[in-house]
Each structure stands twice: as C-alpha cells, then as structure tokens.
Amino acid sequence: MKQLEETRMVLNLIIRKPISLIALIIVFGFVIVGFLAPYLVPYPEDAWGLAYNVENRFSPPSLQHLFGTDALGRDVFSRVLLGARFSLMIAVGVIGIALIIGIPVGVIAGYYGGKIGNFLMRVTDMFLAFPPLLLAIVLAATLGRGLLNLIIALAISWWPWYSRLVFIQTNTIKNMPYVDSAKIAGLSTFRILYKHIIPNALTPTIVQAALDMGSAILEAAGLSFIGVGVKPPTPEWGLLVSEGWQSINVAWWIAFFPGLAILVTVTGFNLLADALRESADPRLRRTILMRLGIKQ
Amino acid sequence: MPVSKEYLFKRTILLAFVVFGVIFITFMITRVIPARPELLWAGPHATLEQIEEARRQLHLDKHIYLQFILYLQDLIFGNWGISWRTRAPILSDIISSLTATLELIIIAFIIAVMAGIPLGILAAIKKHGWIDDVIRVLTVIGASVPVFWLALIVQLAFGMWLGLLPSAKRVDEWVVITTSFKPITGFYIIDSMLQGNLLVLVNSIQHIILPAIVLAAYPLCLSARMTRAVMIEVLSEQHVRSLMAWGLPQRLIFFKYCLKNTLAPLIASLGLSFGYMIIGAFMVELVFVWPGIGFYAAMSLLSFDYPAVTGCVIIVAIFYCIINTLIDIIHSVIDPRVKL
C-alpha cells in the first residue's frame, strides 16, 4: 500500500513538469520501438543489412527514404529503427548482468563485513580505479567483436558501481532495530538477508539501474564506434555512425541520424533521472551523488 | 594549510596498491582470460614463427605465477612490446604522443570549468526559475550527446561547410616548414611562445579550438550540474540562512560566504571529469586526426594491434589513479575534515 502511494507520488511529480513528460514519452517510445522494430521497419532487408541496391546509393532524405540511403543503397531509417532493438538489448543485458554480479557482492560484503567484506570491497575498488569505459575497451578487444562480447565487456566494467551502492545500503540496514529483532526471533541468516535486507537495499539500486540504461547505450555506441563493439552489418547506432563517417562529405545523413537517435534516447533517460533526483527521497539522491563521485 | 606527512604517506601506499591492482586486472584480462594470448599478441596476419616468437615474449611456456612476475619486470624495464602497426617500441610511441593529448585535455578542461561553474552558479541562484530550467535541459542534453558524433558534426559544420577553422591535425605542415619550428616540450602553444613564433602559435590555437570544445562538452555539463547541486546545498545551510536574515546583500553572501564552500566538493568531482575526458579523447582525437595517445589507441583498436592497446590501457589507467590521488590530496588541503 505504502509502496503504491510512493510510486504514485513520484509519477505525479514527473507528469506535472512538461519536460519530464517528454522524457517519459521518449523512453516509452524507445522501449516500444525496440520491441516492435522488426514489424515497423519499411525495408526489412535493408534494416538487417541483407540487401543492397547500389544504383540508389547516397540518395538524400525524401518521403520514400526518410533518412536517405547509405553507401550500399540501404534505407537509413530502417536501420536506425532496428538499431533501437539492439540498443535496448545491450542496455538491458549490461544492466542485468551488472546487477546479478553486483548485488550479491554488495550484500555479502555489507552484511558479513570483516575479512570477506574487506576483500570484496577492495576488489570492487580495484575495478573502480579504471577510468570509465577503459576496462570495457580492453575486455572487448580481448574477447573480440560481437553483441554478446560487447554486453559482457560492459557489464564487467559496470558491476562495481552497484556492489558499492548495495554495500552502503546493507551496511546501514543491518544495524536497524528490525534486523536485530529478526535475529533475536531466531530467523536464519538467509531469511534475514532475503526477507529484510535485500528488499530494502534494492529499491534505490534498481531505480539507479533503470536510469543508467542511457549511459549504457552511450558507452556501447562509443565502443562500436572505435571498432570493438558489434560486427557489421548489425545496425547498432554507434556502428552506423562509424559507417556513415566514411562518406560524410558526400552524404551527411548516414552518420547524422543514428547519432541523433542516440542523443534523443539518452537524453530521455537522463532527463528522467534528473527529475527523480530533484524530487525523490534523499536516500535516492545520496546514492546518485555518490555515483557521480561526490563523497558525503 | 599543510598536509600531514602521515596522510601523504598513507595516500602514497594506497596509490601503490591501487596501481598494483590495476596492473593485476590488466594481466588477468590480457594474459589469462584469452585461450591463446599469443594469437592476439601477434596480430591477425601473423606467421607461425611470429606466433612462436610472441609466445616466448609473453613467457607463456612458464608457470602462471612466474608469468606475472616476468610481466611486472617487463613493465618496469620498459619492454612493453613492439607495435606491429607502427613497427616501433610501444612505450616510446606512447611517450611521444602523451603531450599532444595533455595539451588538448588541459585546454578542454579550462573551457569546461570556465563555462560550467558560472552556469551552475547561475542556475542555483535562479533555482526553479526558467533560467534554471533552460540550463538544466541544456546540460542534460550536453551530457547525453555521443562525443564521437558531436566531433563529426562539428568537424563537418565548422571545418568543411563554413570553413571557419581547420579541423584536422595539430598544426599545418607548411607553417612548420616555412618557420622551421622545432617542438621542445611537445606543447605546441608553449613551444611557439618560447620561440616567439607567432605564426605557429596562431595556427596551433586555431587547430585546437574545435577538438577542445567537443571534448569539453561533457565535463562542462557535468561541472555545471555539480556546481548547481553543491551551491543549492550550501545556500540552504544554517549559516547562510542567518546571513540572509541579517540582511546582508545577496552578492556578498554568494561570493564571500558561499563560493568558497562549494570549492571542495567540486574539486573532488574533477577526477571523474578527467576520466571521461581521457576516454573521450580516444574518439575526439580519432575524428580530428590529433596525434595523441587517444588517436594512437583508437588506431590500434581499429587495426587489432593488441600489444599497443594493452600498453595504452595500462598507461591511461595508472595516470588516472595518480590524478585521483592528487585530487584527493588537494581536497584534503581545502577541506581538513576529509579523512583517508
């Protein structure tokens, strides 16, 4: 009941501001396009990179080809639309795997503390000592190009953020009176973790994770651009920009529109994150500030 | 205010541990995870002998613990391998390209701070007004723009279409040849000033403007948002509210009592900005053909030059750790409450 109320409050705050409403529409639009893209694209063969039509190359944006055609005569609009699907897959995959690794590490380190906790958090710190994206670059270069490798590389550089977040949450929660009373009542450690600690530690983490999807899309596109991301002819946005770069003097639209798609999508996620930061509870705000590297 | 020797000592020890951790993780990723590291090391078109040679260089015939020790030894003595793209030792390649990147990053950093902090303060003062909203949306958009795409668009628009500024390389060849310019420190702007070479000075400033602005976009927005958040925090503190109650002029409150308090958290956040810039430099330098470490790393990635990639990653990571330690020390000087 209380949770429902909280959700409604947050939704209210979001909808009241027109900017946040636009952001919400962008994010929902992105998710829907991501799911339905294969059925929406006007030229499915062009989108998957199977067909080419060289006579029709470099034709500028028109009603037939909203975003023009590329060096092989493929419809850029179809490819950008299908790209949403890959970006969605990457974002969900990266955040999902990062949570699966990060939450247990954070909970165990936070609850048990001592030597295990110290060790786990030192390992986390070691991963966080790399500048953002650098670890993902070397991992992706090692594993080779490919969608799955890209997701793994990004997830491995991503999980320490969540384990640190969960660690801090767990650390405060474990000293709460209700955890003590659960212990006195004789509940097993597993049950205490599962019933009392994880649900309470998770809320800010999940919210943070959902809002991080924008950054995941941005970083994946960056990796694809410098040649360690997905393989061509996958219509991933970063790779599309990189392909368009080769002929940018002849046909600016090939690189322009996929980049614009990244910009709009990521802006949607980040505006939403910003609105939540402004409105939501201080606990959430604190974790976000920590994510940005501010010590409190 | 001086820092205690004990603190400095502790920080140095911690830095050593972190650097060791970074090197260890890099070792795990590049030598242990791949099934046959020598194949990656020798490159995609290697002959059997080259692969055998790579195997020997990486000490793969030895025990894994010994491998790590020999790896550390090679790192310390500068045997970082030979790039098969440039056919030169990697360490010397990296060192010769480091100053170009530093010059670009420092200029970008100055742009970011000079524009970002005033924007953030303005937004905080006009909190929840339309100015705040506009700045908020603009900075969010700026933090969401893919830097490689921005580089391409800026290069196309200002370099090609409008023809306002040069959009590739650090300096024009003909200027270097006609004025017999010789780099000393590697920072072209400083070098040309030292030599009184006006032509090169103007030319290299013209070259740096576009890439520096593109690279500054993200940290600019980050620092503006950070400044806003910190400033709002400071403005709501008790001592500021009592100053307001006493009726002190707003200007005096902002500039004399608030600005100083925002400094410490802002400096603490600079490390992350620096991290984003050094990675952003990979893409910006690639697009603007800027001969720095980012360009070197990106070219190595695109041509599967694995030894060079590994070298760049280690150097950049260590550099980042050192910068973060320095920032922490500065932070503790400004704000003595900060503990290790």
What is the C-alpha separation between B242 and A287, in angstroms, rounded? 29
Residue in chain B nearest A228 by alpha carbon:
B301
pLDDT score of A15: 64
CB contact under 8 A, A259 and B149: yes
pLDDT score of B146: 94
Beta bridge partners of B82: B89
What is the C-alpha separation between A5 and A31, in angstroms, rounded? 25
Residue B183, min C-alpha distance to chain A (Å): 30
Q: Which domain holds residue A224?
A: 2-292
A284 pLDDT above the threshold of 50 = no
**Which residues of chain B fall short of a pLDDT of 70?**
1-3, 338-340
A281 pLDDT above the threshold of 60 = no
Where in chain B are the domains? 96-306
A13 confidence band (pLDDT: 50, 70, 90): low
Residue B237 to residues A175, A296, B130, B242, B263, Cα–Cα distance (Å): 29, 15, 24, 9, 15
* Residue B194 CB burial class (10 angstroms; 0-12, 13-18, ≥19): exposed
Decide: helix, strand or coil at residue B89: strand
Domain tally for chain A?
A: 1
Range B157-173 burial, b when 16+ CB lie within 10 A, else e: ebbeeeeebbbeebbbe
Nearest to B274 by CA among B218, B334, B209, B207: B218
Amino acid (1-letter code) at residue A108: I
CATH class for the region spanning B96-306: mainly alpha
Q: Could you say which of A131, A143, A218 has the minimum Cβ distance to residue B317?
A: A131
CB contact under 8 A, A214 and B144: yes
* Residue A58 CB burial class (10 angstroms; 0-12, 13-18, ≥19): middle
* Residue B56 CB burial class (10 angstroms; 0-12, 13-18, ≥19): exposed
User: Which residues are CB-contacts of A141 (< 8 A; sequence separation ≥ 6)?
Assistant: A228, B301, B304, B306, B309
Nearest to A149 by CA among A37, A265, A234: A234
pLDDT score of B238: 85
* Residue B178 CB burial class (10 angstroms; 0-12, 13-18, ≥19): exposed
What is the C-alpha separation between B99 and A253, in angstroms, rounded? 35
A228 close contact with B: CB closer than 8 A? yes
B270 close contact with A: CB closer than 8 A? no
Decide if B256 contacts B174 (C-beta within 8 A). no
CATH code where residue A269 lies: 1.10.3720.10
Residue B182 Rama label (left phi>0; alpha psi -120 to 50; beta) = beta
pLDDT 10s digits, A176-226: 888 888 888 888 888 888 888 888 888 778 878 887 899 999 999 999 999
Beta bridge partners of A69: A75
- Selected for mutation to probe chain B from A19, A87, A135, A142 (highest B CB count within 10 Å) is A142
Mean residue pLDDT across chain A: 83
> Containing H/E element for A93?
helix A76-112
Only one residue has tokens 């951790």, namely B21
pLDDT score of A4: 61
Decide: helix, strand or coil at residue B182: coil
Q: What percent of chain A has pLDDT over 90?
A: 32
A9 pLDDT above the threshold of 80 = no
Chain B neighbors of A125, CB-CB under 8 A: 18, 21
User: What are φ and ψ of residue B82, in 5° steps?
Assistant: -115, 130
pLDDT score of A158: 92
What is the C-alpha separation between A146 and A138, in angstroms, rounded? 14
CB contact under 8 A, A129 and B282: no
State the sign of the Cα–Cα–Cα–Cα dihedral B297, B300, B306, B311.
negative
A293 pLDDT above the threshold of 70 = no
What is the C-alpha separation between A61 and A170, in angstroms, rounded? 53
Residue B291 to residues A267, B102, B181, Cα–Cα distance (Å): 31, 11, 17
What is the C-alpha separation between A87 and A92, in angstroms, rounded? 9
Give the number of other Cβ atoms within 10 Å of residue B324's Cβ: 22
Alpha helices in chain B (DSSP H): 5-27, 37-42, 48-57, 64-76, 90-125, 130-144, 147-154, 173-179, 188-194, 198-235, 238-246, 250-252, 259-287, 293-302, 306-334
Residue in chain A nearest B148 by alpha carbon:
A222
Q: Return the structure tokens found at B288.
A: 């603007």
Chains A, B: CB pairs < 8 Å? 147
Chain A neighbors of B298, CB-CB under 8 A: 226-227
Q: Return the structure tokens found at B169.
A: 């390389």
What is the C-alpha separation between A124 and A134, in angstroms, rounded? 15
pLDDT score of A92: 94
A250 close contact with B: CB closer than 8 A? no
A296 confidence band (pLDDT: 50, 70, 90): very low
Query: Mean pLDDT lowest for which of A87-96, A125-134, B269-278?
Result: B269-278
User: Which residues are CB-contacts of A164 (< 8 A; sequence separation ≥ 6)?
Assistant: A106, A121, A124, A128, A290
Residue A60, min C-alpha distance to chain B (Å): 17
A295 pLDDT above the threshold of 50 = no
Decide if A225 contacts B283 (C-beta within 8 A). yes
What is the C-alpha separation between A92 and A101, in angstroms, rounded? 14
pLDDT score of A206: 82
> Containing H/E element for A274?
helix A253-279
A226 close contact with B: CB closer than 8 A? yes
B14 close contact with A: CB closer than 8 A? no
Window 214-253 of B: residues touching A by CB (8 A cutoff) are 222, 226, 229-230
What is the C-alpha separation between A75 and A63, in angstroms, rounded? 11
